[in-house]
Chain A
Amino acid sequence: MRRKNAKMDMPPSLPSTVPLLAIQQRGGADIGDSVVPLPTTATTRKDGRKQQSAQRKRHQRIAALIGLLFVLPSVLGFLLYNLGPILFGLYISFTKYTGFGSPTWTGWYNYLFLLHDADFWHALLETILLALFIVPLGIIVPLLLALLLNEGLPLQGLLRVLFFLPSAVPWVAAAFVFQDLFNHYGLYNTVLGYFHISPQDWTYATSSSSNLLNPLFWLIVILSVWKSYGLGMLIYLAGLQGIPKERYEAAMIDGAGPWQRFRSITLPGLAPVTFFVLITSFIGALQTFTPVYLLGQGAAQTVNGAVSGGGMQTVAVYAYNTAFQAGIYGYGSTILWGLFVLMFAFTLVQFRILQRGTRRKEALG
């Protein structure tokens, strides 16, 4: 592996004009060395303190300028397309803005409206329920697959690639395919028919106000898990291979059975990986947009300025409809910021729980 930032010893072929002291002090040739050859005004080696000539200071200033220059284009783009929009979105969420004219400041009105918005809470419930099912499955299934494919099976490498393929299918394509699989005369219902179970059409959601767990919900859960277990499997495989084998050997010497080994070595060894997968899949699940947009819209329409979803809406879809279909940019921004705040709070809580857990372990151990 490459070495990181190794402090450089004296290079053998140094030009005589470069003072040795300067290089020793900084542990390596620095940017100042390339700009102008250093003058021979070095102090004696017995002098411990650095004495920089005015020229050296100028070189350092040029060095700093070059650094800033390199960073400048990305900083500009960053201000314009990363930081700027974040702040601008925050600002807009406090306004009423229809895209024409200028935004009118309304203070907390949007957020108060958000708190009472039935559609938002409905969409939020759908989103959280989605996440509630997608995340555990998105942890268990990849873990299972990684365990299965870490045993030295024949064709193991091929199998790993094969299981990764679903993740490579874009969301749009996958949504259409699943719609095809699960519709009234699709494969799934046909197979159910062989077991004499009556067919259900999974692609149309029942009325959104009555039944939250409608068939389309489960379709999207299955679709999301199907699409994400490939990547999760790879991550877990990497994590599994990171657990030192000596632990297993020690456990076997001590007489631990397979299930015990799994519980006390494999699972704790995978804790950081699991945490990562948990957080990322949760954040991802909360932002589910594409399958819901493509399959769950039904007859979404704008009625009296409020956007009503047909069938099924997640928060992201609701925000999209509000902002880009109904043209209510201010409130759309509010919705998205509300979601972000909730996500952020939840991530903080997860971190706190984890910290308390490790602190307790350290205190006990």
Chain B
Amino acid sequence: MSSVSVPSPARGSGSRGPWAWLRNQEWLVGDQSYRPGRLRGAWRVLQVLALLFFLLISFLPFYDMVRSALLSTDEYTAFHFVWWPHVSQWGNFQLVMTVTDGLFLRWWGNTIFVAICIIANTILVNGLAAYAFAKLRFPGKEILYFIFLATLMVPSESTYVPIFLIVRLFGWYDTYMGQVLPGLISAFTIFLLRQFFEGLPRELEDAARIDGCREMGVFWHIVIPLSRPILVVVSVTSLIGAIESFVWPLIVTQTQDIRPIGVALATLQSLIPPGGNPAVVMAGVLMMVLPTLIFLLFAQRAMVRGLAGSLVG
């Protein structure tokens, strides 16, 4: 029968400092006040090994990305593996721009433009609808909401064919409109926003109403500013979705200069002139991944800060 004891930290820094986890070997509890089990050091060693293994698996592709981007033509097409290029070909990145006739930045611009359209629409149209569902009363509200949610079950893949036909009908094939449109009305966004709005205290709206605000005023001046955390989350998700988008832009666009980065990158290989450096493809991949990662790191911090701030109020 193991006894539960709460050791005092009087033993010295070993039970508190960053290496405390090594000494206080409890398992799966995460609370550092219990006695260790039978397997002491062996378990910790196993955990460290497992972590190292997963770290290796996680980062091997990144290493390969950087390595391959810097290879020269000979090294890339060699019949053996080159661990690191003899001379790093930093010019490959410039080569990406040349090979694509300077469209690479434009592809990024397309992606961001599509994301901004979707985000603006989210706040205006989806936000308004979510607000109506959350706070207002009108006939058919429950039925409508249910229908919205029901469509969430249908995978987007199933709708690509008919949406394509509709988009083509409107003449929006191969345009920005065609790219943006299917992502605009997202039942999931409405659902998320509605949940958030319902959590906002009624007193603020009521105070605004008594002060003479109409509904639109309440929405603009009260609800939207209060919703910053969830709007940040939705915006970040939209931007990441735009960066990742592949299938739909593939279907609906044809000309290179309005394509987003995902689809366009897939065509990079065919743009290399014969005798050109095939490592250019990996350089392009790196140029796509690196900004995304950096953005995500900052976005994560912003989201956590936003969510934490919302808990205070």
Contacts and interface: CB of A to CB of B under 8 A. Distances in A.
Nearest to B207: A11
B65 A162 contact: no
Nearest to A334: B161
A132 to B, nearest CB: 19
B210 interface: yes
A78 B187 contact: yes
Interface residues of B, number: 108
A173 B64 contact: no
Interface in B101-160: 125-126, 128-129, 131-133, 136-139, 141, 144, 147-148, 151, 153-155, 157-160
B30 A92 contact: no
Given A75-B144, A92-B161, A148-B50, A181 B64 contact: yes
B308 interface: no
Chain A interface size, under 10 / 10 to 19 / 20 to 34 / 35 or more: 35 or more
A62 B11 CA distance: 71
Interface in A6-40: 6-8, 11, 14-15, 28-29, 31, 33-35
A67 B262 contact: no
Interface in A48-97: 63-68, 70-71, 73-75, 77-78, 80-86, 88-89, 92
Contacts of A108: none
A88 B28 CA distance: 51
Nearest to A191: B81
A176 B282 contact: yes
Nearest to B140: A68
A343 interface: yes
8 contacts: A1-B311, A8-B206, A14-B210, A66-B136, A77-B184, A99-B165, A180-B68, A248-B28
Interface of B: 1-2, 4, 18-21, 27-32, 34, 37-38, 47, 50-51, 54-55, 57-62, 64-65, 68, 78-81, 125-126, 128-129, 131-133, 136-139, 141, 144, 147-148, 151, 153-155, 157-166, 168, 181-182, 184-185, 187, 190, 198-203, 206-207, 209-210, 212-215, 219, 240, 243-244, 246-247, 251, 262-263, 265-266, 281-282, 285, 288-289, 292-293, 296-297, 300, 310-311, 313
5 tightest A-B contacts by CB?
A67-B138, A77-B185, A74-B129, A67-B136, A70-B132
Interface of A: 1-8, 11, 14-15, 28-29, 31, 33-35, 63-68, 70-71, 73-75, 77-78, 80-86, 88-89, 92, 99, 141, 144-145, 147-148, 150-155, 159, 161-166, 168-174, 176-178, 180-181, 185-187, 189-190, 226, 240, 245, 248-249, 252-253, 255, 257-258, 261-262, 266, 283, 287, 289-290, 294, 316, 319-320, 323-324, 329, 332-333, 336-337, 339-340, 343-344, 347
Given A70-B215, A258-B37, 10 more contacts: A34-B209, A70-B219, A82-B187, A151-B30, A162-B58, A163-B54, A164-B300, A165-B293, A176-B265, A180-B68
